[in-house]
Structure 1
Amino acid sequence: MSVIIYRILVVLTYVLAIVTLLPLWRHNAWWVRGFDFPRLQFMAFSFFMLVAEAIFLDFSRYSTWVMMGIALGCFCFHVGWILPYTTFYPVEVKPARSRRPNNLIRIMTANVLMPNRNYKGLLELVKQHQPDVLVTLETDLWWEGKLSVLENEYRHTLKCPLDNKYGMHVYSRLPLEDAAIQFLVEPHVPSMHALVVLRSGVKVRAHFLHPAPPSPTENPDSSERDAELLVVAKSVSDKNDPIIVSGDLNDVAWSETTRLFRKISGLLDPRIGRGMYNTFHAGFWFARWPLDHLFHSEHFTLSHISRLPYFGSDHFPMLVELVYDVTHGADQQGLEADEDDLEWAESKIEEHEVEESHVHEPGK
């Protein structure tokens, strides 16, 4: 065996161990939290290392078993995070028994990419899939003007056009009541909150979010994003109302923070047991992650979920159709928070002096 190949494998094995273990460090720095994202890629890398080590290393050497043990451990670790987002795992949300129109809500979420000019592509997707509620992100005044044609059918709207890539709009066929636009953590990052009234008259508490990501060009750490997600999670945690939280959360489904959000809120993830539905980056098939989310309370079952086609953005749109069915959904259960989770969430929220009472609770 070439000494050069051996050294390369040693270096790559320890690099794999570092990128695998680093996200376990509860540090908010972007360069730490960024390693939450490519777990699928790290899983593939781990498998590649196992194969390469099996081919090139000498099994009579103790170091070979150490290196293969590290690669196998990393592979199993990443599989553990990814597995719930495959069809090999039990579903968390039951399939709907029927599509009863009066109790059905169809939500489409689309991060448009502000410089993107293919508004016709988005309008065509709306026409084709007929969502009850359309949530657009990164929409500025230009996009608001182009989407104004929707208001003939989508008469209920919330609008917050911004030129900083955090503009947000909601277009709804269903009535919106007690709506509010808030800037919970950062003065340039809005969120929207409203009661969506189903055709049956049932009122659903909806929160639409797009917190800023941890990155060298945005926020140097994840504390702002985490605080916004968790304060909303806390605000819905003790409610018995039907609840939906949706948007581009700038976090992957399998991260510690998203998992903590699910624990604190008690909301369900319809992707569990069904697939990853990777929505970003639309331009790179080898580097895609599930950044666009929809979580909901046990009042709903799932009628449909899909990732929609490319329309020029760096995100694919998501379409989720839920059926309000309290009886059928009653025994659905997500993750539960323990004392450590509650303390960790509280510490993240307190970093930015935002409180549960600051979150608008429509209908209260």
Structure 2
Amino acid sequence: MPFTIKCPLDNLYGMHVFSRLPLHEAKVRYLVEEKVPSMHAMIELRSGEKVRIHFVHPAPPSPTENDESTERDAELVIVARSVADSDEPVIVTGDLNDVAWSPTTRLFRKISGLLDPRVGRGFYSTFHADYRLLRWPLDHLFHSHHFTLTSITRLPSIGSDHFPLLTRVVFAPSQGQDQEPLRPDGDDRSWAQDIAQSKNANKQDVP
């Protein structure tokens, strides 16, 4: 794959993006925590259309990471608020370290207006690959209404503690107009603002 974004780190949060399609305006940002990167770019489709893509992997709440989930939640919220301000085609994907039905992920969907292609199709639990009875859907892809889903598949283990998740979407703005996202209310917007302010995180920092 000739187009890449690379950020190797000696912690758990190094990231690499590989693409067959050209990547423009590629940036690595540390939106909330100094050693936890996210990646952002415009990908050029073969049709010439451009899609903004955000790759995220916020740190989870755990005894060895963060005492609470505020860092993760703040990163998701500011990406959601940034996306909500745009009418361009958007995909947000990555290991969110959060399950699909959690209040924070639902808040992300409400604020961003993005669609979860798994809804009505299954959980697609990707973690932990080694424990059959303890698995959760931590890896996500959300897209704007410009796309429709072709397929979503959890692939066999590749030796990671996560299974790969293969999601195929088609750029079809006219077909996707009838897809309905979750809608935020005033309480959702206030909660999102409080989360961002708690970590001094700003949507303006999201490319």
- Structure 2-normalised TM-score? 0.99
Whether 1:285 and 2:132 are equivalent positions in the alignment is yes
* Equivalence map 1:93-112=2 (5 Å): none
1:74-131 CA deviation, whole Å, 9 max, x = no partner? Answer: xxxxxxxxxxxxxxxxxxxxxxxxxxxxxxxxxxxxxxxxxxxxxxxxxxxxxxxxxx
Mapped to 2, the partners of 1:169 and 1:332 lie a distance apart of: 31
Higher RCO, Cα 8 Å, sep 6+: 1
1:266-296 CA deviation, whole Å, 9 max, x = no partner? Answer: 0000000000000001111111000000000
1:307 is matched by which residue type in structure 2? R
1:323 is matched by which residue type in structure 2? V
- Structure 1-normalised TM-score? 0.57
**More strand per residue:** 2
SS of match in other structure, 1:305: strand
* Equivalence map 1:132-281=2 (5 Å): 154-281=1-128
Mapped to 2, the partners of 1:290 and 1:344 lie a distance apart of: 24
- Counterpart among 137, 141, 146 of residue 299 in structure 1: 146
- How many Å apart are 1:331 and its aligned residue? 1.4
1:234 is matched by which residue type in structure 2? R
SS of match in other structure, 1:181: strand
Mapped to 2, the partners of 1:169 and 1:349 lie a distance apart of: 26
Mapped to 2, the partners of 1:201 and 1:308 lie a distance apart of: 30
Mapped to 2, the partners of 1:178 and 1:314 lie a distance apart of: 31
Mapped to 2, the partners of 1:344 and 1:295 lie a distance apart of: 21
Structure of greater Rg:
1
Gaps of 5+ in 2: none
- How many Å apart are 1:304 and its aligned residue? 1.1
Question: How many residue pairs get matched?
Answer: 207
SS of match in other structure, 1:263: helix
SS of match in other structure, 2:170: strand
Whether 1:338 and 2:185 are equivalent positions in the alignment is yes
**More helix per residue:** 1
- How many Å apart are 1:238 and its aligned residue? 2.3
Mapped to 2, the partners of 1:230 and 1:332 lie a distance apart of: 22
* Equivalence map 1:21-170=2 (5 Å): 154-170=1-17
- How many Å apart are 1:311 and its aligned residue? 1.2
